[in-house]
Amino acid sequence: MKNILRIACLATAMTAALPLPAQEPGQALSLEEAIAVTLTDNPAMKAAAYEERAAQQQRRAAIGLRMPQINLTGAYAYMAKDIGFDFNNLKGPAKDLTGKILGSGLIDPTLIPTIQGLLNPMMNADWFLTLQDQSFGFVGGEVTVPIWMGGKINAANRAARLNERTATEQGNQTRNALISELVERYFGLALAQQVVAVRQQVVDGVRRHLEDARALEKNGMIAQSERLYVEFKMAEAERELHNAQLQVETISSALSNTLGRENDWQPVTAMFIIGQIEELAYYKELAEMRNPLLSQVSLKRQLAEENVRAQRSAFLPQVVAMGGGSFYNYQVAGFVPRWAVGVGVNIKLFDGLNREYQYSAARQTVRRVGELQNKASQDISVLVEKLYNQMINYRNQITSIDASLSFAEEYLRMKEAAFREGMSSSSDLIDAELNLAGVRTERLQAAYNFDLVLAQLLEAAGISDEFPAYSRRSDARVILFDEK
């Protein structure tokens, strides 16, 4: 029976050295394909694209401030009465004067009836001279052309261009953040799937140990405590396998969320480390030039300066050219002109010190954004240094773990040889196998941490798109569970 136990344990040890079992069927996806899908289908990228388009339209709208403003207008009015002069109060004096002239004897009496016949209709008429009928209307147009607005239009156009650039930088920031998020979840799923395979191997191996231990205990070959120890390891292995499976489901859903597509994804790009890394100064210099957050802060400072110019324009005169005319008139008096052109000047003399305070507030905003820009630059520099040191640390960890891996493999071989000679128990062999699996998993975790921090470092430096190129470097070293 001892030979049976030794053979079973040896088979378990050999199983741990075999390649990992195939993963569940799924959609094979390389890292570069995943990046392309994310940058196309992720809702955050679509939202950023809409934001950029909106900023472009706002910039084009600002150009319209320089253009003539043309309006078509029309109006109809009905007044209480006609506009004119009333001479009816002169009828009496006029009639008296006419009677005196006719009765003076200067006019031939035979002509008086004829003259009276001619004057009577005039005297009976309404002596109201109408200048404008009480109802009238017109259709016309007017044109206004800004000549000088104190620099406000120029400031508005520059601000619109800065807003467009800000939207572009916001899109770059979203893009870089999504690539870092994708690396975290893509390699996280790859790591979790390998851990599941490892845990499954452990469960299968311990289960065989448990079956043999129960048979040996029944025949009195081993003590009850040794069988109980194997049962304890079996329960522990099953619990860790279940947790690993749940982790795969969680990370798979997170990856689908980042990609913007639902599927059962199967990562095919392996985790890696880089042998030769550029100096820290290289990444700091890139961050100063290309970090989207620093670019946005710089643009906000320029926007604040444009706001100062816009507020200063309120102190200057505004000059516009204007003209207008009517195309159709209804009962409009003929003495009203049909067109007019001119130039208007507006100079604001006093507005309750509103302009002064607005201008002062704009200048304070420039100073505030300047301080924020300095702080952001320092924060990004510290972040880059922190990420760089973490990356180097994880790379050094893998070197240390490789030494531990060699020891764990040799220790397992020693335990197998001792077990075959009857000088080691099955529990010692199980512990050696679990130790080797743990070291291999720790090595994968260190590689995952290296890749994640590398992605974050490239994000801080503003070059996240170069992450796939790092994986193709000649000194890039693939890290797998059962390979050095």
Query: What pLDDT score was predicted for residue 438?
Result: 86
Element holding 340 (H helix, E strand):
strand 339-346
User: Would you tell me how many other CB atoms lie within 10 Å of the CB of residue 58?
Assistant: 15
3-class secondary structure, 264: coil
Phi, psi of 476, deg, nearest 5: -75, 130
Round to whole Å and give the CA distance between 277 and 288: 19
Closest CA to 148 of 39, 230, 58, 66: 66
Distance in angstroms (rounded) separating the CA atoms of residues 75 and 136: 8
Report DSSP letters for 48-83, one per residue. HHHHHHHHHHHHHHHHGGGSPEEEEEEEEEE-SS-E
pLDDT of residue 422: 62
Predicted local confidence at residue 484, as pLDDT: 53
Res 113: pLDDT: 79
pLDDT of residue 383: 97
Q: In angstroms, rounded to a whole number, what is the distance separating the alpha carbons of residues 44 and 181?
A: 12
* CATH code of the domain made up of 2-69+153-314+348-479: 1.20.1600.10
Residues 291 and 380 sit within 8 Å (Cβ to Cβ): yes
pTM, to two decimals: 0.80
List the domain boundaries for the chain: 2-69+153-314+348-479
pLDDT of residue 420: 65
Rg of the chain (C-alpha set):
46
Distance CA 89, CA 127 (A): 8
User: How many residues are present in the chain?
Assistant: 484
One digit per residue, pLDDT tens: the chain, 484 residues?
333 333 333 333 333 333 334 444 578 999 999 999 999 999 999 999 999 999 999 999 999 999 999 999 999 999 988 888 888 888 778 777 777 777 777 777 777 777 777 777 877 788 888 888 889 999 999 999 999 999 999 999 999 999 999 999 999 999 999 999 999 999 999 999 988 988 888 888 788 878 877 887 888 877 788 788 888 888 988 999 999 999 999 999 999 999 998 888 899 999 999 989 999 999 999 999 999 999 999 999 999 999 999 999 999 999 999 999 998 999 888 878 889 999 999 999 988 899 999 999 999 999 999 999 999 999 999 999 999 999 999 999 998 998 888 898 888 888 878 766 667 777 787 888 888 888 888 999 999 999 999 999 999 999 999 999 999 999 999 988 766 5
In 3D, which of 206, 225, 215 has the Cα closest to residue 3? 215
| Residue-level pLDDT at 360 | 95
Q: Are residues 102 and 112 in contact, defined by beta-carbon separation less than 8 angstroms? A: yes
First vs last C-alpha separation in the chain: 37
